[in-house]
Structure 1
Amino acid sequence: MLGIHAQTLRYYEKARIIQPSRSSGRVRLYSNRDIGRLRQIRTLMDDLGVNIAGVEVILRLSERITEMERIIKEKDLEIKRLREAGL
């Protein structure tokens, strides 16, 4: 898949970098999210020279940033509602 060796894909799965689902026959099924993440990994490693440990850190920080952005949007909406209510 995407020119990535099967053993490497299994390592990514074990490290919880990707989490493919499984068919009833236990075949790994990669989601669009998994494929996007694999492309991101390839870019980080091949184009930017980041090692796998760095990739793991970058991906986890990216997830945290996304979650924090979601929380900020929620809080902004809450503040807006409170202001509109005159509180």
Structure 2
Amino acid sequence: MDESSPIFAIAVAAELAGMHPQTLRQYDRLGLVSPTRTAGKSRRYSMRDVVQLREIAKLSAEGLNLEGIRRILQLENEAAELRSRVRELESALADELLSRSGRRVFAAGESGDVVTLRAGTRVKRSNAVVVWRPLERG
């Protein structure tokens, strides 16, 4: 069971949120909280719904009206969905980059610069012999 499982009847959810059941009905009508419905049309609240009800109570106590609260919750939900979508896209991009043939590899060149290579190739190294002699002081 996770936080989005609809398990609480309206009386239990109201008690957990510290509200009257009629308040939960009003919030449902206004779209502030959207509990799932059983086959008999009774409301079932999840733990996520209860947390959202507590957030509504907190914002209301801070002086926000219900329309302002609805807009804040809508924007918070949108932001959470967008964050989730970004994580999905980042994961898909990482998978694509790893599975793509011909992906690029970076290495250090002879002079210390960064060199781009295709996967499976090696840096060409010089096999020349360099002799170092100190300068004579004279």
Normalised by the length of structure 1, the TM-score is 0.79
Give 1:40 deviation, angstroms.
0.7
Classify 1:26/1:78 alpha carbon distance in 2 versus 1 (closer, same or farther; 3 Å).
closer
RMSD over aligned CA atoms reads 2.1
Structure number with the higher strand fraction is 2
Greater helix content = 1
Aligned pair partner of 1:75 in 79, 86, 89: 89
Q: Are 1:14 and 2:29 counterparts?
A: yes
Listed as ranges, the gaps of 5+ residues in structure 1 are none
Larger Cα-atom Rg: 2
Superposed counterparts of 1:1-87, under 5 Å = 1=14, 2-22=17-37, 27-46=42-61, 48-85=62-99, 86=103
Letter in 1 for 2:34: Q
The CA distance in 1 between the partners of 2:39 and 2:96, in whole Å, is 49
Listed as ranges, the gaps of 5+ residues in structure 2 are: 1-13, 105-138
The Cα of 1:6 is off from its aligned counterpart by: 3.4
| Partners of 2:31 and 2:70 within 8 A in 1 | no
4+ residue segments displaced more than 4 Å: 22-27
Letter matched to residue 4 of structure 1: M
SS class of match (2:24): helix
